[in-house]
Structure 1
Amino acid sequence: MPEATRTAGERQPGVAGERQPGVAGAVGERLPGVGRIAVLRANALGDFIFALPALAALRAAYPDAELVLLAAPWHAKLLAGRPSPVDRVLVIPPAPGIRAPDPGEPRPAPEAMRRFVEETRAEGFDLAIQLHGGGKNSNPIVTALGARLTAGLRAEDAPPLDRWLRYVYYQPEVFRYLEVAGLVGAAPTTVLPSLTVTDADWAQATEVLGAPTRPRVALHPGATDTRRRWPAGNFAAVARALAADGFEVLVTGTPAEAETVDRVIDAAAGAARPVVGTLDLGGLIGAYDQCELVISNDTGPLHVAAAVGTPTVGVYWIGNLLNGATPLRGAHRPIASWTVHCPVCGIDCTRGIYPARPGDGECSHRDSFVGDVPVAEVLEAARELLRPPS
């Protein structure tokens, strides 16, 4: 298309130079002479998994640069000694819109973010990239790092970066961040998140759980957002059925999810055993790698299981499926609830994203939006993935 006939909507905002079409959108010009790259991605576990292909693209495009992740303490612990595109983690202080404190982490001093920005700016980053979200809170921090070039996402309430893409809520998360990497000339090397399992992961899982004596399946019934939780009784029904099929069934959860795990264990009536607070994240990775299947709500552990190559059955609200489900079906089965109206008050809960749609009031209920997913459907998917190929 000749330049003169292009419309503004056909060009990426804030991007200069020629762009070539790629697997995940246009690929812009690389910045020459890059020695150090800062990437802000300090949110939750699943969010980090979704960003792995973008981090791999940046590593491939700038192989001689140091790639530094600005993130939480748990990121530093997870990546210590684990092969990944990241060379180093700088722990960014908790702050609104950036990250919540890790469990047990002390409250930061009021000047902690200012001091962090000053110290990080002094490292002399060439590229500073925001893979964090809409940018209202994160773009000012990325800009303040003083890099030669900034790039990332921008919602309507966020300040611009040197190169930016509009943040549009409904988009597969992996491709969202691959598009950002493309802004600085980093073409995809993969579109599938991959997480290396270490010997230490396996050792911890085996020490805590014992070596598998029969094929294992893990269920993860928790999720930070209670609207994403499939009922505990449904997980228990799956546990009983798979235990009867001859599988060892684990029910995993964080300490904050212990009550939910207990409800599943009680209803499973001896068909499953709990795994709560006995494994760190590396141990959980090892445990999932030892499993034949992980069945979970749409939450971080589900995406971890897929990233280590374990087959999954995921229970999703339809909007989250659009953003978070793996596109593969050979080893993964995302099962969707199509509920869009609050089960309690009936309000259209897409209105926060599409405010022009008719409706009245805001919904504050946190009842499950996925409770209508049938047990039979999850079991059918699980048994198909667990059945040896003919």
Structure 2
Amino acid sequence: MKNLNAPVKTILISRIDAIGDVVLTLPMAGWIKQNVPDARVLFLGRTYTAPVVACCKYVDQFLNWDDIKDLPVAEQVRFFKNQQISSIIHVFPNKQIAQVTRQASIKQRIGTRNRWFHWFTVNALVNLSRRHSPYHESQLNFALLRPLGLKTIPTLPEVTAYLDFSRITPLSDKWQEFLKNDQPCIILHPKSKGSAREWDLAHFSQLARQLHGLGWQVFISGSTAEGELLQDWLRENQNFITNVTGKFSLSEFISFMKACTGLVGASTGPLHLAASVGIHALGLYPPIKPMHPGRWAPIGPRAEYLVVPKDCSDCRKTPGSCVCIQQITVAEVVSQVQQWRPE
């Protein structure tokens, strides 16, 4: 029989970095909800990732580090005490957060032992090395759940099953008008803000033209800055594409993704978002460790990737450049995408 007087276990997941990293962390919330009875799950992130976390069924509340980090230390401590947190998981190690949550007397503070400041701020140290691990990034995150009772690292399909992006706002009429209902819609996301090795724009141009000729409605997405960077390329391909760079808020972009058939892009936030919302997501990857798909492939029910089947480090010291990723052919991508067509 359920003990109605038992205190609620409030668990805070702390990950204050980029969108893709946050997406690959959110399955942890699903595991907690399913394995820690009556747990309340909080997520500490940044302003720009709040719309991502809002989509996750298993997160009860988002805490914005941007609203907390510049407060006086005493107010930061008071803030975390007021949340009545029983456990914090430092997925992304941050010295300031580690120190203030220790001062807030959070009972269980979980973190990796290979950050020196954790030895003074964390009381549940986990032996975790990401650099040379054979595990996927999302699986590595699960290692930090061992102090909460995790016995073995789940397989990638098991991790994916813990990801639930069912809180997506329906696409507004304003953006619905972009979609032609008689055509399958695909998003091409050619840039990555320097976070990944990128397929050449010449390849994306051929891909857009071929898919347009095959009856696809082709959208090009990206930030406002990326749209400005691509303006000549966008103009050259304007007869084959619909340019939506800089047009959406992140929340709107997620809703728009959900209404499309799929997305093709490098290993960057939009690829991981597309996979998480359940549409087809095709990642184009270099075979360089640890950038390869074994570590950073998208996860989701329709997630896919292409990579040249070789072990290569030739381009490791040339940021943004990779010969091997250019060996992925347009024909390969077209063949993969054509399998997505609704019947």
Question: Which residue number in structure 2 is paired with residue 87 of structure 1?
Answer: 60
Measure the CA separation in 2 of the matches of 1:226 and 1:74.
16
Q: Gapped runs of 5+ residues in structure 2?
A: 1-5
Measure the CA separation in 2 of the matches of 1:47 and 1:274.
26
Measure the CA separation in 2 of the matches of 1:159 and 1:44.
22
Measure the CA separation in 2 of the matches of 1:316 and 1:214.
28
Equivalent in 47, 71, 88 of residue 73 of structure 1? 47
Show the 5 A alignment for 1:4-19.
Answer: none
- Residue identity opposite 1:386 in structure 2: R
1:313–1:335: 8 Å Cα contact kept in structure 2? yes
Measure the CA separation in 2 of the matches of 1:214 and 1:136.
50
2:283–2:298: 8 Å Cα contact kept in structure 1? no
- Residue identity opposite 1:341 in structure 2: D
> What's the secondary structure of 1:168's corresponding residue?
coil
Choose 116-125 or 242-251, whichever is displaced more. 116-125
Measure the CA separation in 1 of the matches of 2:143 and 2:46.
24
> What's the secondary structure of 1:224's corresponding residue?
coil
Q: How many residues align?
A: 320
Matched, 1:177 2:141: yes
1:306, distance to aligned residue in structure 2 (A): 0.8
CA, structure 1 residues 208+314, in 2 after alignment: closer, same or farther (shift >3 Å)?
A: same
RMSD: 3.0
Q: Residue by residue, what CA displacement relative to the aligned partner does 1:15-70 show, whole Å, maximum 9, x if unpaired?
A: xxxxxxxxxxxxxxxxx955322221111111111012111111223342322211
- Residue identity opposite 1:273 in structure 2: T
Matched, 1:55 2:29: yes
Matched, 1:375 2:330: yes
Measure the CA separation in 2 of the matches of 1:44 and 1:229.
18
1:128–1:145: 8 Å Cα contact kept in structure 2? no
Question: Which residue number in structure 2 is paired with residue 155 of structure 1?
Answer: 114
Equivalent in 322, 339, 343 of residue 384 of structure 1? 339
- Residue identity opposite 2:16 in structure 1: A
1:88, distance to aligned residue in structure 2 (A): 1.1
Matched, 1:191 2:155: no
Measure the CA separation in 1 of the matches of 2:313 and 2:174.
39
Matched, 1:124 2:84: yes
TM-score (norm 1): 0.72
TM-score (norm 2): 0.81
Question: Which residue number in structure 2 is paired with residue 168 of structure 1?
Answer: 130
Measure the CA separation in 1 of the matches of 2:242 and 2:220.
6
Q: Residue by residue, what CA displacement relative to the aligned partner does 1:113-150 show, whole Å, maximum 9, x if unpaired?
A: 664244213433211111225x6665445434421111
2:184–2:342: 8 Å Cα contact kept in structure 1? no
Q: Residue by residue, what CA displacement relative to the aligned partner does 1:275-302 show, whole Å, maximum 9, x if unpaired?
A: 1222222221222222222111110111
Measure the CA separation in 2 of the matches of 1:376 and 1:316.
16
Measure the CA separation in 2 of the matches of 1:374 and 1:145.
54
1:206, distance to aligned residue in structure 2 (A): 3.3
Measure the CA separation in 2 of the matches of 1:154 and 1:94.
28
- Residue identity opposite 1:241 in structure 2: Q
Show the 5 A alignment for 1:203-218.
Answer: 203=172, 206-207=175-176, 209-210=178-179, 212-218=181-187
Equivalent in 236, 251, 256 of residue 205 of structure 2? 236
Question: Which residue number in structure 2 is paired with residue 105 of structure 1?
Answer: none
Q: Gapped runs of 5+ residues in structure 1?
A: 1-31, 96-107, 343-348, 350-362
1:34–1:65: 8 Å Cα contact kept in structure 2? yes
2:19–2:52: 8 Å Cα contact kept in structure 1? no
Question: Which residue number in structure 1 is paired with residue 304 of structure 2?
Answer: 333
CA, structure 1 residues 114+124, in 2 after alignment: closer, same or farther (shift >3 Å)?
A: same
1:251–1:273: 8 Å Cα contact kept in structure 2? yes
Measure the CA separation in 2 of the matches of 1:93 and 1:256.
23
1:41–1:71: 8 Å Cα contact kept in structure 2? yes
